[in-house]
Chain A
Amino acid sequence: MKAGLGLLVRRSLREHAVSTAITVASVGLATGLVLAVFAIQAQSQRAFSAGPLGFDAVLGARGSPLQLVLNAVFHLETSPGNLPWALYEAIEQHPQVERAIPYAVGDNHRGFRIVGTVRDLFEPIDGREAAVLRVAAGGRLFDPARREAVIGSTVARETELAVGDTFHPHHGLVFDASARHDDAYVVTGVLAPSNTPADRVLWIPLDGVYRMSGHVLRGSGEAHTAEADSTIPDAHKEVSAVMLKLAAPQAGFFLDQTINKQGKVATLAWPIPAIMADLFDKLGWAVRVLGLVAYLVVLVAAGSIVASLVNTMNERRRDFAVLRALGAHRRTISAAIVLETASIGAAGALLGFGVYAAIFALARTLVHDETGVVLDPWAWHPVFALAPASVVLLSAAAGLVPARLAYRTDVATHLAPPG
């Protein structure tokens, strides 16, 4: 082991261990904050902008495309309204539509949404070999003619429902114990975790929603209540949204033109990623404010490095004078200080990744619990390289102030015997 700059830096850090630890902690917190702000924002945007189940568009009642996407894709927000069954049939048979999956919403179980749909939802889509939504071993899909349900993995975990259990839906999207439907549904399957909002949904047959006690259908414009053992006329049926897989990318332009610009009864939310990206763009100011705060915290941390070294400068000056008397150059002493602050920055940057991991884990849990969307902890972002490099450089720059003080240390004054 050579007793050069490295030893000077290590011993100085050890000698001032408490202030070193505090400074490293403050730099670590600042770095972690910067990493979290930028990486989580980018991750969230990516996760929310990707069509989780492989659909390209959502058809829904006339209204906001964003509301439609939030409701049908992310199972957030309320539905903007219903579409008549005839419209679903028309889009389902449209030559430019590869697949159309109807959704009917309006009920919940302990706050988790119940969505009526068809079994095709659970078939592979988008050329994939396996469906995103697959029933885990030991279960099966619901029978469209029976009161059966398959439930998302998060629902199963949170409600402790398992295959064979029954539950009663509650009316509305917000849980109200007094709004319980009499109908009892049997869980026939639990979906394997898909890391999509679908994990937070209880899926039942479309007919189940129509026949739910207390539900009134208004697809024809007149109120209709389904009766047991009788077929529901299509004219009375309605759907909350239709998830669409388009036959080709250009189909979106055509449908957008005919449904959004020329039509007046429905809204086509397309393309889904662009609509979510637009939402994030609108929230961009908040991200910029958070970024500004993070940068300020980094500056404060850099200031704390300066303060910690300047505060201990008096006791260090005698050491600098001794080192000079031993033959050390002024530049060597200054370089040792800059290296020391850069080391503090590097240690803080490393700690910052730990802080980031903790913040990310918390954010991941929150986002997953609230939306079912999973943030990828391993997704690369340039901030992972830029932030540590900037912190080390800034820390080294912060060392220039105490380095300058050390450079100017008068040797004779500090070698004088105590008087």
Chain B
Amino acid sequence: MTTALRIESLRKSYVTPEGERQTVVDLPALTIERGEQVALHGESGCGKTTLLHLIAGLHAPDAGRIFVAGEEITGKGESDRDRLRGRCVGYVFQSFHLLPAYTALENVRLAMHFGAGEDEARARALLERMGLADRLHYRPGALSLGQRQRVAVARAVANRPALLLADEPTGNLDPRNAAAALALLRETAEEIGAALLLVSHDPHLLASFARCEAFSDLARAGADA
């Protein structure tokens, strides 16, 4: 099994409005193998989302190294980080973050455009796999919350990423839709052999993961903050 994510001595801090520097992420090490599914939980504001942003290369860390699919994302310039993110990282957000002006199909195709390259047949197949065959040309505003999250999952896996990041992916869904969306996410990750790092507060959801990590156990920041 190859490594999908490896983190070494990662540190990120922000300057507070009062002018003080506050460490948000201080993570000595974290490794997730390809195909592995990991749940991460922690208190609100403890730095989980910042960690996901760092892994995705949306933020640059103050120190430390992050390897995604064997490539060090922290050592790259912004454009190269964008390219690596598009190709190797899929991201599912709590608020879905679908682009409202685009249809379900276009949302998936757009992700492909910035990642592995467009493949309309695969985009259609993914949405059909998500049970959205009759909603391909619907814009997000015309879809239910559950359907939107399924489009978001399809978009996240469209480029067959090595690593899937999911930030409270079921937080806005009712229990039935949440269970369905989670099942789809996990099944699809398994199908494409992607590692999954999922952030959640939901104890039932967390209990379903073989590997469940507490952010405070992983990080030194909790103690420092």
Stretch in contact with the other chain, from B28-36, B94-102, B187-195: B94-102
- Residue in contact with A326 in the complex, picked from B94, B95, B100, B114, CB distance below 8 Å: B114
1/0 per residue A1-31: CB within 8 Å of B? 0111001100110110000000000000000
B53 near A3 with CB under 8 A, answer no
The contact of A3 among B85, B87, B98, B109, by CB within 8 Å, is: B109
Distance to closest chain A CB from B182 (angstroms): 17
Interface residues of B in 100-133 (CB under 8 A from A): 100-102, 106, 109-115, 118
Contact A412 B50 (CB under 8 A): yes
Partner of B99, one of A4, A322, A327: A322
Q: Is A411 an interface residue (CB 8 A)?
A: yes
**Does B82 reach chain A (CB closer than 8 Å)?**
yes
Residues from chain A with a CB closer than 8 A to the CB of B111 are 326-327
Tell me which residues across on chain A come within 8 A of B82, comparing CB atoms. 324, 327-330
B114: nearest chain-A partner, CB-CB: A327
Instruction: Say which residue of B56, B59, B97, B115 sits within 8 Å of A322 (CB atoms).
Output: B97
Contacts of A319 in B (CB 8 A): 99-101
| Chain B residue contacts of A329, Cβ below 8 A | 78-79, 82-83
CA A3 to CA B83, docked complex, whole Å: 17
A119 proximity list for chain B (CB < 8 A): none
Is A417 a contact of B171 with CB atoms below 8 Å? Answer: yes
Contacts A322-B99, A328-B82, A412-B59 given; does A3 touch B93 at CB 8 Å? no
> A324-B82, A328-B82, A329-B82 known; A415 and B115 CB under 8 Å?
no
A323 CB within 8 Å of chain B = yes
| Closest chain A residue, CB of each to CB of B165 | A325
Quick check: is A223 within 8 A (CB to CB) of the other chain? no
Contact B118 A327 (CB under 8 A): no
In the bound assembly, the distance between CA atoms of A3 and B123 in angstroms comes to 12
Q: Which residue of B lies closest to A16 (CB)?
A: B101
- A3 x B86 contact (CB < 8 A): no
Chain B contacts for A8, CB-based, 8 A: 110
Instruction: Tell me how far the C-beta of A202 lies from the nearest C-beta in chain B, rounded to whole angstroms.
Output: 65
Complex Cα distance, B219 from A5, in Å, reads 41
- Over the window 317-341 of chain A, the binary record of Cβ atoms lying under 8 Å from chain B Cβ atoms (1 yes, 0 no) is 0110111111111111000000000
Q: How many angstroms between the C-alpha atoms of A332 and B86 in the bound complex?
A: 13
* Interface of A, helix, strand, loop or mixed by DSSP: helix
Which B residues lie within 8 Å of A330 (CB)?
78, 82
Chain A residue with Cβ nearest B90: A326
Number of B residues near A (Cβ < 8 Å) is 35
Chain A contacts of B86 at CB under 8 A?
326-328
User: Which residues of B have CB within 8 Å of A138?
Assistant: none
> Residue A416 at the B interface, CB < 8 A?
yes
A326 to chain B, nearest CB (A): 5
Q: Which of B79, B85, B98, B101 contacts A11 (CB 8 A)?
A: B101
Min Cβ gap B78→A in Å is: 7
B118 contacts A2, C-beta separation under 8 Å: yes
Q: Does B142 sit within 8 A of A, measured CB to CB?
A: no
A7, B110: Cβ atoms closer than 8 Å:
yes
Q: What residues of chain A lie closer than 8 Å to B155, measured between beta carbons?
A: 326
Contact A324 B58 (CB under 8 A): yes
Given A323-B99, A329-B82, answer yes or no on A417-B168 (Cβ-Cβ < 8 Å). yes
Whose C-beta in chain B lies nearest to the C-beta of A416? B49
Question: Contacts A11-B101, A327-B82, A417-B93 known; A2 to B58 CB distance under 8 Å?
Answer: no
A3 to B113, Cβ gap below 8 A?
yes
Closest to A414 in B: B97
Q: In the complex where A324-B82, A325-B85 touch, is A411 in contact with B58 (Cβ < 8 A)?
A: yes
Report which A residues bind B (CB closer than 8 A): 2-4, 7-8, 11-12, 14-15, 318-319, 321-332, 411-412, 415-418
In order of increasing CB-CB distance, the 8 nearest A-B pairs are A327-B86, A327-B114, A15-B101, A11-B101, A3-B109, A322-B97, A3-B113, A326-B111
List the interface of chain B (C-beta within 8 A of A): 49-50, 53, 56, 58-59, 78-79, 82-83, 85-87, 91, 93-95, 97-102, 106, 109-115, 118, 155, 168, 171
Known: A329-B79, A411-B58. 20 other contacts (CB 8 A): A3-B109, A7-B110, A318-B97, A319-B99, A322-B97, A323-B110, A325-B91, A325-B93, A326-B114, A327-B87, A327-B114, A328-B82, A328-B86, A329-B78, A329-B83, A411-B53, A412-B58, A417-B94, A417-B95, A417-B168
* Sample of 25 A–B contacts (CB below 8 Å): A2-B113, A2-B118, A7-B102, A8-B110, A11-B106, A15-B100, A318-B97, A319-B99, A319-B101, A322-B99, A325-B56, A325-B93, A326-B91, A326-B111, A326-B115, A326-B155, A327-B85, A327-B114, A328-B82, A329-B78, A329-B79, A330-B78, A330-B82, A411-B58, A415-B53
